[in-house]
Structure 1
Amino acid sequence: MAAVAEISGEAAAAKNSNLESKTITESEFNVQKLVDMFTKLNPLAKEFFPSSLSQRHHNNLKINHQFSPDDSLPSNNKQSVNDNYPNNRRRRNNYSQGRRRLNGRAFRAERENSVRRTVYVSDIDQQVTEERLAALFSSCGQVVDCRVCGDPHSVLRFAFVEFADEHGARQALNLGGTVLGYYPVRVLPSKTAILPVNPTFLPRSDDEREMCSRTVYCTNIDKKVSQAEVKTFFETSCGEVTRLRLLGDNVHSTRIAFVEFAMAESAIIALNCSGMVVGTQPIRVSPSKTPVRPRVTRSALH
């Protein structure tokens, strides 16, 4: 019985050993099968790329990769030109930002230069025109621009005079105390530059320049005041108004107007209206650099 039991045990052990060998052989076969399967896969196939990559980027990757001799696995010896695409994009963005900073810096530098070439003139008689003021300061250097403005807090006016260079602005400071009209003017370094006028609005002919001499620029007009009321105010105080353009928007709390008179003398008288209250606001009146052109209707275009 002992012998039979020993033989049965050996047979069982042999059977288990055969099963284990068979299991190992099948596992090795399955692993080898998987290896063979993966080896035949193309990692550049479309299904291996996430949908977020563009087709062009995918094509560039296919073109720029160097393949191994069996054309199945890509070699790492050559790098794709698009591997640094995010860095290239970042580099371009930095370049654009740097260019914008440079443009902003250049704009500020130009504006500061314009301020150094400008003087502030106050206590200007109402009868003094921009041409006369510019003629006075032309002895100091070339005058680039002259802008006379109404002062709502005074019967007198103030102006900004810009020169071609800083030397002219420094020389202009010596003219402080010069009597122009009936009052001595004050001249100080300016803290602001003169804003340029849109060249398309400037006079284009002698007739339009003559129109400018009869036109005033009025600011700080109460929004509740109508165009008819503005016209009535200036006609009552100064003379006949031939054309009036009242402008405003939803951004500013007040409006502006260009008022053209029949006579140039009326425009000069209108300059004395600075500081007068129209509606609820004191208006500011200054000579206009632009004429009030007639509006072009659609019927006139056809």
Structure 2
Amino acid sequence: MSAVVDNSGEAVEAAKNNDLEVETTKSESKEFNVQNLVDMFTKLNPLAKEFFPSSFHHNQTKKSDNFNQVPVKRSAGNENFSNKRGRNNVNQGRRRLNGRAFRAQRDDSIRRTVYVSDIDQTITEEQLAGLFSNCGQVVDCRVCGDPHSVLRFAFVEFDDEQGARAALSLDGTMLGFYPVRVLPSKTAILPVNPTFLPRSENEREMCTRTVYCTNIDKKVSQTEMKIFFESTCGEVTRLRLLGDQVHSTRIAFVEFAMAESAIIALNCSGMVLGTQAIRVSPSKTPVRPRVTRPALR
């Protein structure tokens, strides 16, 4: 029995040796194959064009021909989308043109406008426009109150640039009790809504008794404003206080019983009402009475 066991042990060892030889031969063959592949790849030209068989080009040509023969149908949605995109492009172009036209018009208006300062409180817009009427046709004249001075300033717009250049020669001219200063303007006069302008002789007379106030504290009530102007200037017949949620201050139109009271009110420009220094200037629009609408039934 011992002899049989020994023989079987030798057989097992022989089998192991055979397996090792087979594995070594396999590994050697693998190394040989990998080495051959590496040698082959190193011989390739990286700048060579990619190879495509001739059948590939032939099939691609057929596919492209068949594709071109198929008519392309556009859906209604695509047409609407393309039309909308076209309209949007047109609208954007129009907006750009409108913006350019507006800037060109504004620049032209600035070149035709002069800035006048140190204006006596007693001088009206008609008197100021009369002073510059010899320089050219006056298109608009806007007198404003200066909160930092007892004097006022104004913008005078002419029909052409020649009139504005001629107006510069009036710098230092005595108007009232003070010599006015005339300089080229850096801003254009903002046009007034035509519906707000006086429509009759009666409304024009109302404008001479009305002042326009800005930079009014939102905490100031209409009653407080009326008391302020009546205690300083005279009887107030109508007062319209306006404001919104966007601006931090409000505006007001104050109509007096006498035109002299409106002139005195111009001296209130710069006085503090509430927590703000108000600005007072002549009004171009009358304070029209509110129209009472009939109640809905």
TM-score range, shorter chain: 0.7 to 0.9
Q: Could you tell me which residue of structure 2 aligns to residue 159 of structure 1?
A: 154
**Residue 301 of structure 1: CA displacement?**
10
Structure 2 distance, partners of 1:192, 1:75, is: 62
Q: What residue identity is the alignment partner of 1:180?
A: L
SS at match of 1:195: coil
Structure 2 distance, partners of 1:91, 1:291, is: 47
**Structure 1 unaligned spans of 5+:** 1-72
Instruction: Report whether the alignment pairs 1:274 with 2:269.
Output: yes
Structure 2 distance, partners of 1:300, 1:285, is: 37
Q: Could you tell me which residue of structure 2 aligns to residue 296 of structure 1?
A: 291
Instruction: Report whether the alignment pairs 1:207 with 2:202.
Output: yes
**TM-score (ref. length: structure 1):** 0.72
Instruction: Report whether the alignment pairs 1:240 with 2:235.
Output: yes
**Residue 279 of structure 1: CA displacement?**
1.0
Instruction: Report whether the alignment pairs 1:193 with 2:181.
Output: no
Structure 2 distance, partners of 1:120, 1:250, is: 32
**Structure 2 unaligned spans of 5+:** 1-65
Structure 1 distance, partners of 2:129, 2:237, is: 28
Please, what is the CA RMSD of the aligned residues? Answer: 2.3
**Residue 298 of structure 1: CA displacement?**
1.9
Q: Could you tell me which residue of structure 1 aligns to residue 69 of structure 2?
A: 76
Structure 2 distance, partners of 1:300, 1:185, is: 54
Q: What residue identity is the alignment partner of 1:216?
A: V
Instruction: Report whether the alignment pairs 1:129 with 2:128.
Output: no
CA distance change for structure 1 residues 262 and 89 in 2, over 3 Å: closer, same or farther?
closer
SS at match of 1:267: helix
**Residue 90 of structure 1: CA displacement?**
3.6
Aligned residues: 230
CA distance change for structure 1 residues 301 and 177 in 2, over 3 Å: closer, same or farther?
farther
**TM-score (ref. length: structure 2):** 0.73
Report sequence identity in percent. 80
Q: What residue identity is the alignment partner of 1:249?
A: D
Matches within 5 A, 1:1-302: 76=69, 80=73, 85=79, 89-299=84-294
**Residue 300 of structure 1: CA displacement?**
9.2
Bigger radius of gyration, 1 or 2?
Answer: 2
**Residue 94 of structure 1: CA displacement?**
2.0
